[in-house]
Structure 1
Amino acid sequence: EEAGRKYARSLARLVQLGFIDRDQEQLLAQPPKIVHADSPRLAPHFVDAIVARNPGSHGTVRTTLDLDLQTAIERLARSHLSALNRHDITQAAVVVIENATGAIRAMVGSENYALSQINGAMQPRSCGSTLKPFVYLDAIDKRLLTAGSLLPDTPDAIRDEYADYDPQNYNRHYLGPVRLREALACSLNVPAVFTLSRLGARPAFYQLQKWGFDFPQGLADYGAGFVLGNAETRLVDLAAAYAGLARGGTAMRAKFLAAEHQPIVRIASTEATAIITDILCDNEARQRSFGTRSALAFEQRIAAKTGTSSGFRDTWTVGFDREHTVAVWAGNFDGRPMHDTFAVRAATPLWAAVMRELLRRDHPLDPPVENERLVRRQICKATGLLPSHQSPARLSELFLVGTEPRENSANYFASDGKLLLPDAYSRWCASRDNTIGAHVRSDFHIISPPPNAHYQIDPVLPASQQMVELTAALAGDVRWFVNGEQISARQDARFFWQLIPGEWHVRAVSHFRTAEETITVE
């Protein structure tokens, strides 16, 4: 209103001074309507990122963006998100990097810039399992492990190293002995932490930083959980790191401007990187977690890795063909969880759509080629060792020269053809997860309770919550007796018995074999 009054006074003053007459005053009586006609902004999140990286700069610059690709991916992102509303997913971000140059060819920061100027490609988020390939790569390159190494996927495999850490797989089941190739392809958690224990958490954390990951906090804040994704990273940095895998093990920051120079640093050997890339392309190796027909599966050789943060707050998929790396994040900017949605259902379909768009011009990855530093060998599928007549199946595996298996697998099978494992697998062998009927090498014995165990009843806790686990080192039928009375209603190698004050003689019986322990309860 005040502006209107000032406008009317200004018109009257113009008449008074003779600049306009009364007729013109009447024509101008209504204030003109202000129409905002801003020119449409192209790739606004990308432009904002350039301005933020170059404060105070002026003039014209040439960016790395491919505008046609950018437009196509913006369309794919909008279409993808409309299909994910039922999972309470409102946002997605995409980065496409040219492998050879590190140039950003496309960047989508959100579903709609007009509604949200937050750039999801530049915001640190919990990265899920996307760091695992770099940890395994480090272990292979240092010759601590091979793609055929047998790793433990058991609930107690890392308790000696990380007593207060209890990582679990997404389905709460454990596969027991698993080759590194399958552990990475299936994104199993315990083998990744076990590998971290072999490397050392601090050296492994620093190695990740060499790849360009700028974590907001230090190792002391994350602990061993950084390998499973409690550390935050930016989508653009994740894409740049995976582009380094596509280049054969060299790190380079992402480039926003055509004239920008980023140094290239070799972090891992070409041969070790080729092994990890081959695993990321292996759809058969990932089938126990993802099946054979997930959105990760391509007829061509395309590397891919997913990640889902704890609480279902962030989902990721990143991978590459010969020319480009594509990284996708999907979730909510306010951090609220999605409806029990894993990456393969949230971020992966958009990633696959972008990758197929690129494959109209791009090429799939070439298979690894043997040379004086990289060889293929036939191994036993169950043990990762040299095949024997008892091996249930054989397969071809890649090795750095000098790390090939030398031991025959024959000693790892019992007379009945079942797998024989070290005592470290005792609890797993006694669990329902042992679907392969594996045995431990040692004689039949009681694992829990330990010899001469002493327990005290807590007067506060309900009696139903005070139980001791009875576990025997055998994957078969076990009957449990306490002071001569059979207490297990079913034949199982694992049982829970409620604590009662007194001295108790615990006996496990299986196929005429007996093991005994004595415990005291106060």
Structure 2
Amino acid sequence: VMHGHVTSGASTITQQLIKISQRRPRTLFTKFVETATALRLEQLWSKEQILCAYLNRVDFGNLNIGLASAADYYFGKPVADLSEAEAAFLAGIPRNPRKLNPHSAFDAAQKRQRVVLHRMAANGTLAADRLEIAMAEPLRLRAPRRLFRAPHFTDTVLQQNVEMRDGAEVRTTLDLRLNEQLERLLRERLAQLRDHNVRNGAAVVIDNASGDVLALVGSEDYFAAGSGQVNGAWAKRSAGSTLKPFTYLLALERGATPATIVADVRTSFPSADGFYRPENYNRRCYGPVSYRTALASSLNIPAVKVLLAGGGPAALHERLRTVGLTTLDRAPEIYGLGLTLGNCEGRLLELTNAYASLARLGEWRPWRVLAKAPSAARSYSRRELVWQIADMMSDNSARTLAFGINSALRFDYRVACKTGTSTDFRDNWTIGFTPEFSVGVWVGNFDGSPMREISGVTGAGPILHDIFDHLHATRGTSWYRTPPQIVEENVHPLTGKLLAANDLRGVREKFVANQVSPAESEEDYDADGRVQLDAEYGDWLSSAENSLRDRAVLADAHSKLRITSPLAGADYLVDPDVSTSSRILLTARGGKKLLWSSESLRCEAQDGRQYARATNGEHLITVTDVETGRRADVRISVRSL
């Protein structure tokens, strides 16, 4: 009032600490509150504690909060290595960080430094000879640079719509050192991939126990022109084979086992627009393979058949939404069987968190970047079944078929991991987990241009391996105890059926105790002891891809009855404007006089062929060989457009 304008008086270090620790409106009442709080703090803390807290919180300009940050930014050294001249220079900046900015007002900052040095000498903390040396010492500042730590993580925090009052403290889940380590590993590996037209990548680390996002790097360089600020951890990209573990889990929930055999042979699947003919990544087929091998080696044709056994696209669509994927914005029948091969879009952060739910053995909880965000968990599967999925995904022997014995997915400790590569090499992924951490890596180009011959195991895989090696060395990783429901048995590698414990033909497999393969029988072999394979293996057995040679033979056409149309789990769409779409062709092999039946569909002969009349719903179709009494059945679903 006396001066006719707003003035600011001197305040103690304690009062300044209170002021910067909790921002308040600048009122007379605020001044009283801060003074009272300062008096109370001086009763509780020593002068050294107060000064330390102040120096850790005060603003040194250019986005540097705290003395340690300022020492690194301006001089490139820790606080303990500062000279007296450098320390005095930094001590003067907080008086007015804008007007004393060393990069834009160096002379003013140096003038303030000299004031600080003379006060030190006057207070007896700096001898005269040391003052003379400090006054003469040239100051060598580091070049100005952008300082924005964990920028994509920060952007993600700002997208959470958190209420941020002026000066309010927001606690995040970020581990800055880990984030900086990811930035370095990503940068180094991407440099090695430049010749393959790889220009960017992203990586995420999640703490499985809490759902906390410990590190999130969205691109190689946030400040790169063009697309540096695109957040690759949140961008929608083609998901590739990363969804297959959830397909296999659905099948296990319906009674399959890791030893269940699936035919990896070229197959045409009926679809709404004709036939769907997937190919394996290397365009080679391997014949009879177990679910364990098919998942670990990421075989595409078996994955489609496993999807049919696990309930079809609708079941997988529902499960993916259950584990937090928000990018599935179309109906299941639009994606069709290709859903298991990743013909949908996914976000790296959401996919990594979905894998974190596998790491918790079937318990999903939301990811979070704010420490106080809700993190309620919900279970969606049986723990022992998800344990089997984790065991399959960590089996280096099972993935050798496709990736070789010494791929980037081989670790000296247990890690469950899965790769994914989209069409034309536009995206590749590797996501993995231990009980403690889930890690996801994406590599590609933000403009969608294809990479040159880079797959998940050669692009994202080495980065994931580096990250897990760092976590294993610095924090430690473990593996799961075998659930009490799990038993180990000896099974035939081509039939998946139980053998005697001492039978040398067998391989060891892990089962849920009440979900074990049946024992082998005489019908599994011919007179020479060769495994008899169904008719669907016919073309493969006679091809150059057949690696079994005299170990397997095509079964007698009349020995087994099998429905060849419709395929198990097929999903039919009926178009009212196309009369033929309401007819489902019925064919089978392995019998002579066949009788078709269904409790919910009408089966009839037309033009010398058997058909079922399609009506909406889930249906069981059965065929019986009236001469032998053998039966076979399939379940299908029908929907109208």
Is the structural similarity TM-score above 0.5?
Answer: yes
Structure 1, gaps ≥5 residues long: 1-31, 445-472, 474-522
Q: Does 1:238 align with 2:351?
A: yes
Equivalent-residue separation in structure 2 for 1:34 and 1:209 (angstroms): 55
Equivalent-residue separation in structure 1 for 2:534 and 2:557 (angstroms): 11
Partner of 1:481: none
Structure 2, gaps ≥5 residues long: 1-102, 107-142, 559-588, 590-641
Per-residue CA deviations over 1:376-407 (Å, capped at 9, x if unaligned) read: 22211221101269976322212122211223
Q: Secondary structure at the match of 1:194?
A: helix
Equivalent-residue separation in structure 1 for 2:403 and 2:201 (angstroms): 22
Deviation at 1:253, TM superposition (A): 1.5
Per-residue CA deviations over 1:445-496 (Å, capped at 9, x if unaligned) read: xxxxxxxxxxxxxxxxxxxxxxxxxxxx9xxxxxxxxxxxxxxxxxxxxxxx
Equivalent-residue separation in structure 2 for 1:242 and 1:302 (angstroms): 12
Q: Does 1:181 align with 2:292?
A: yes
* Mapped contact 2:271–2:336 kept (Cα < 8 A): no
Match of 1:358 among 471, 478, 482: 471
Deviation at 1:439, TM superposition (A): 1.6
Q: Does 1:54 align with 2:161?
A: yes
* Mapped contact 1:382–1:393 kept (Cα < 8 A): no
Partner of 2:222: 113
Q: Does 1:424 align with 2:536?
A: yes
Q: Secondary structure at the match of 1:136?
A: helix
Deviation at 1:275, TM superposition (A): 0.2
Q: Does 1:167 align with 2:274?
A: no
Q: Secondary structure at the match of 1:138?
A: helix
Q: Does 1:257 align with 2:394?
A: no
Match of 1:317 among 430, 439, 445: 430
Q: Does 1:70 align with 2:185?
A: no
Letter in 2 for 1:228: L
Pick the structure with more helix per residue. 2
Deviation at 1:216, TM superposition (A): 4.4
Worse-superposed segment, 175-184 or 38-47: 38-47
Q: RCO greater where, 1 or 2, for CA within 8 Å and sep 6 or more? A: 1
Q: Does 1:148 align with 2:259?
A: yes
Q: CA RMSD in A?
A: 2.6
Q: Does 1:270 align with 2:383?
A: yes
Larger radius of gyration: 2
Equivalent-residue separation in structure 2 for 1:266 and 1:160 (angstroms): 33
Q: 1:390 to 1:168 in 2, by over 3 A?
A: farther
Identity, % of aligned positions: 37
Deviation at 1:416, TM superposition (A): 3.4
Partner of 1:134: 246
Equivalent-residue separation in structure 2 for 1:34 and 1:217 (angstroms): 54
* Mapped contact 1:93–1:329 kept (Cα < 8 A): yes
Q: 1:227 to 1:429 in 2, by over 3 A?
A: same
Partner of 1:439: 553
Worse-superposed segment, 323-332 or 198-207: 198-207
Equivalent-residue separation in structure 1 for 2:507 and 2:303 (angstroms): 23
Partner of 1:512: none
Match of 1:380 among 486, 492, 495: 492
Equivalent-residue separation in structure 2 for 1:394 and 1:163 (angstroms): 41
Q: Secondary structure at the match of 1:344?
A: coil
Q: 1:104 to 1:409 in 2, by over 3 A?
A: farther
What does 1:266-415 align with in structure 2 at a 5 Å threshold?
Answer: 266-371=379-484, 373-387=485-499, 393-408=505-520, 410-415=522-527
Deviation at 1:159, TM superposition (A): 5.0
Letter in 2 for 1:57: M
Letter in 1 for 2:157: I
TM-score between both structures, scaled by the size of structure 2: 0.61
Equivalent-residue separation in structure 1 for 2:359 and 2:397 (angstroms): 21
Partner of 1:88: 197
Q: 1:417 to 1:75 in 2, by over 3 A?
A: same
Q: 1:427 to 1:120 in 2, by over 3 A?
A: same
Partner of 1:45: 152
Per-residue CA deviations over 1:87-123 (Å, capped at 9, x if unaligned) read: 1000010000001001000000000000110000011
Q: Secondary structure at the match of 2:351?
A: helix
* Mapped contact 2:434–2:479 kept (Cα < 8 A): no
Q: Secondary structure at the match of 2:489?
A: strand
Q: Does 1:209 align with 2:318?
A: no
* Mapped contact 1:388–1:409 kept (Cα < 8 A): no
Deviation at 1:170, TM superposition (A): 1.1
* Mapped contact 2:317–2:328 kept (Cα < 8 A): no
Per-residue CA deviations over 1:307-365 (Å, capped at 9, x if unaligned) read: 00111000000111221111000000000100021111100000100010000134444
Per-residue CA deviations over 1:46-96 (Å, capped at 9, x if unaligned) read: 101111222663432010010111111111111011001011000010000
Equivalent-residue separation in structure 1 for 2:279 and 2:371 (angstroms): 44
Equivalent-residue separation in structure 1 for 2:306 and 2:272 (angstroms): 11
Equivalent-residue separation in structure 2 for 1:290 and 1:201 (angstroms): 27
* Mapped contact 1:380–1:391 kept (Cα < 8 A): no
Q: 1:107 to 1:96 in 2, by over 3 A?
A: same
Letter in 2 for 1:292: I
* Mapped contact 1:321–1:365 kept (Cα < 8 A): yes
Equivalent-residue separation in structure 1 for 2:392 and 2:190 (angstroms): 30
Equivalent-residue separation in structure 2 for 1:163 and 1:217 (angstroms): 23
Deviation at 1:247, TM superposition (A): 0.9
- Equivalenced residues, count: 413
Equivalent-residue separation in structure 2 for 1:424 and 1:179 (angstroms): 16
* Mapped contact 1:154–1:174 kept (Cα < 8 A): yes
Equivalent-residue separation in structure 1 for 2:375 and 2:477 (angstroms): 26
Letter in 2 for 1:129: S
* Mapped contact 1:278–1:368 kept (Cα < 8 A): no
Equivalent-residue separation in structure 1 for 2:490 and 2:367 (angstroms): 39
Deviation at 1:158, TM superposition (A): 3.9
Letter in 2 for 1:223: G
Q: 1:421 to 1:388 in 2, by over 3 A?
A: farther
Equivalent-residue separation in structure 1 for 2:387 and 2:272 (angstroms): 30
* Mapped contact 2:211–2:367 kept (Cα < 8 A): yes
Partner of 1:453: none
Deviation at 1:413, TM superposition (A): 2.7
TM-score between both structures, scaled by the size of structure 1: 0.75
Equivalent-residue separation in structure 1 for 2:271 and 2:147 (angstroms): 59
Deviation at 1:419, TM superposition (A): 2.2
* Mapped contact 1:130–1:305 kept (Cα < 8 A): yes
